[in-house]
Amino acid sequence: MRKWMILALLLMAGSWVMSQERIQWMDIEEAEAACRRQPKKIFVDVYTDWCGWCKRMDQTTFADPEVARYMNENYYAVKFNAERTDTVRFQGHDFVYVMNPNGKKGIHQLAAAMLQNKLSYPSYVLFNEEMKLMQVIPGYQKTESFLPILHFFGEDAYKTTPWETFNEAYSKREKKQGEQ
C-alpha cells in the first residue's frame, strides 16, 4: 500500500512539473534548419552573460507558462550570446567573433548584424518564415507587454494593422477572456 502511495505522489509531482511549460530554446543554426524543413517564425533572444536584465527576462517573462506555450507553438526560439566566440553559419554566411581593438570584450558579427549595430541587451530579433528580418525589440519586457508583441508578429497582424490598434484590441480581448 505504501509503495502505491509513493508511486501516486511521484506521478502527480511529475505531471505538475510537465505542466510547467518551458520555452524550447535552440541554436540559430538549428532554427534555420528547422525553418527550412517546416516554416515558422524565428525569435532570437540576443543576450550577454553579464547582462542583469537578460537574466531577469529568463527568470520572469521567459519562465511564464503562457509565454512559453505561445512561443513554442508559433516560433523557433533561439538564445544567442552576443559575445560567443565560435563561427556561426547563418543564411549562407559565416559570422565570427570580433575582438574590440581597445582590449575590452568584442562582439559576434551575427549579433551586430541582427541588431543592426544597435548593441543593447537584451534585444529580441524576429524573423518571418522566409528568415527575413521583421523587427528588433530592445530591452527587458514584462509578460503583460511581451505577449501582445509575440501575438502581433505571430498572427501576422504587423502586415495589416498598426501596433497601437492591435495592442488596444489585444488588451480588450484578454480582458474579456479574463472575465469569462
β-pairing, 41-47 with 123-127? antiparallel
Q: What is the pLDDT of residue 7?
A: 47
Region 158-165: what's the mean pLDDT? 96
For the stretch 143-157, pLDDT in tens is 999 999 999 999 999
3-class secondary structure, 127: strand
As given in the structure block, the three cell numbers for residue 130 are: 522566409
3-class secondary structure, 161: coil
For the stretch 68-87, pLDDT in tens is 999 999 999 999 999 999 99
Q: Return phi, psi of residue 105, to 5°.
A: -55, 145
Note the residue count of the chain.
180
Return the closest-CA partner of residue 125 out of 30, 68, 42.
Answer: 42
Query: pTM of the full predicted structure?
Result: 0.85
User: Is 60 exceeded by the pLDDT of residue 10?
Assistant: no
For the chain, domains (ranges, CATH) are: 19-142 (3.40.30.10)
